[in-house]
Chain A
Amino acid sequence: MTISELSFFNLALAYLMFIVPLAIMMWLRLPMISDTLIAMVRMTLQLLFVGFYLQVVFKINSILLTGLWLLVMIVIADLSIVRSCGLRLRAVAGGVFISLLVGTLMPLLFFVFFVFQNSAALGAQYVIPISGMILGNCLRADIVGMQTFYESLRRQEKAYIHALAQGAGLMEALLPFVRKAFHAALAPTVAAMATIGLVALPGMMTGVILAGGDPMTAIKYQIAIMIAIFTGTALTVLLAIFLTIRGNIGRDGLLKQEIFADQK
């Protein structure tokens, strides 16, 4: 069996499975049925749109178009991170954008030139799915990292002031908060690496196997992509924190409260 055998009719049948979670929600009287239905419709429309768009992008296979698509993905991820962290767009969007750009491109280019060792892998068919996987993980890690960093700095202002008052430099006082945020952001990826294959078969590997590929080839690619993801997430979290903190710390060393969206 290959993936091409899944017709739109068969796909429509898959929607029948939604009846099960919807029935559970109705039985529990959860006020999330309309949100779930909207999310389902959005998922369908977004993926169909991406599917059609990617068909065009893959066919044209232009570096410019691929780059443009990559930029669109990064901007959407950037906005999503800033909104999820409860921070002001103007205060952090620039730094987060650069962190995502570096965190995605660096492992991607390493992957293409050193792992694939084939510049043909810069084609849209490879770049978009690989960068999508890296970016998706960078997004999750950035949300956890940025939120942990800024919220703990806000909640534990006394500890931060205590360090500054004892003579700590800016970086010395911030370091415990960076450490905490970095750990919180990276821990899920570390846990995922430790259980991969045993608890869950990752998406890329499953995709290759479903498309009729050799499982061993699928596993090799999966190992490489996991390393790329881990590198990307580590880079992006650290950069996101360092690129956003400078402009949001006053000359006295304290965090400007205007960075938080809930602050007037």
Chain B
Amino acid sequence: MRAAGSTLFSNLSLTLEPGEKLLIKAPSGFGKSTLLRALLGFVPISAGSISIFGNELTSRSAWQLRSRMAYVDQEPDLGDDSVETVFSRPFSYKRNRHLHLTSRRITELMSQLGLPDSLRSKKITTLSGGEKQRIALISALLLEREILLLDEPTSALDEKTTLSVARLLREMKELTILAISHDPSLAGALDRTVDLRQHTREPL
């Protein structure tokens, strides 16, 4: 796979079955985050191809495919509004108008990830890194997409909270997950692991 003039991965062929949960690991600078961005159609690919739900990912098809995926960044920039606004904002987008946000589901997910309900009225800027990561994850899960892309989703969490995240993801049988992580506690909850070092020629 080539992008922006350099080879990202060679001999890399990955297929994920619906509901499968895959962990990708590699040292920093091996293009893990670039791979996730490429799956969202944000990195133009000049060699190799990506197919999602049987459709080849192009800059045109990416817009539709994005509405079937959710993405959580390692250090999410959630703006400076309240937590409640972060949860409700995506539901105002035209493509998501058919979805329904329920307060009960928010409370449920927050409680499963060890966050108090009172946090909902707090400004994002007042939250810790770990709280922001969990808010970003909840925001992604609320959209009930078919594929979840996670970039180091537990890097700012302690072991106990990481285990809660792992348990929650494990329970979502139908959700296909592609996660990048170094965290062994999270790895235990996923089906298999791929080491990118075997597929990368030029470290980025």
- Of the 9-residue stretches B55-63, B180-188, B190-198, which lies at the interface with chain A? B55-63
- Chain B 114-137 interface mask (CB, 8 Å, partner A; 1/0): 000000000000000000000010
Residue numbers in B under 8 Å from A158 (CB-CB) = 73, 75-77
- Chain B 53-94 interface mask (CB, 8 Å, partner A; 1/0): 000000110110011011101011111000000000110111
Tell me whether A252 and B59 are in contact (CB under 8 A). yes
Tell me whether A250 and B76 are in contact (CB under 8 A). no
Tell me whether A159 and B78 are in contact (CB under 8 A). yes
Tell me whether A166 and B70 are in contact (CB under 8 A). yes
Residue numbers in A under 8 Å from B96 (CB-CB) = 166-167
- Of the 9-residue stretches A61-69, A88-96, A132-140, A168-176, which lies at the interface with chain B? A168-176
B138 in contact (CB, < 8 A)? no
- Chain A 93-137 interface mask (CB, 8 Å, partner B; 1/0): 000000000000000000000000000000000000000000000
Chain B: interface residue total (CB-CB under 8 A): 31
Distance of A205 from chain B, by nearest CB (Å): 40
Known interface pairs A167-B90, A167-B93; A252-B70 also in contact (CB < 8 Å): no
- Chain A 136-164 interface mask (CB, 8 Å, partner B; 1/0): 00000000000000000000101101111
Tell me whether B93 and A169 are in contact (CB under 8 A). yes
CA of A162 to CA of B90, assembled, Å: 10
Tell me whether B90 and A166 are in contact (CB under 8 A). yes
Residue numbers in A under 8 Å from B75 (CB-CB) = 158
Residue numbers in B under 8 Å from A166 (CB-CB) = 70-71, 89-90, 93, 96, 139-140, 143
Tell me whether B94 and A169 are in contact (CB under 8 A). yes
A-B contact pairs, 5 of them (CB 8 A): A161-B42, A162-B77, A164-B66, A165-B71, A172-B93
Closest 4 pairs (CB-CB, A-B): A251-B59, A158-B77, A159-B77, A165-B71
Chain A residues proximal to chain B, CB less than 8 Å: 156, 158-159, 161-169, 172, 176, 250-254
In addition to A169-B95, A254-B42, 12 A-B residue pairs with Cβ atoms within 8 Å of each other are: A159-B78, A161-B40, A161-B71, A162-B76, A163-B90, A166-B89, A167-B93, A167-B95, A167-B143, A169-B93, A252-B41, A252-B42
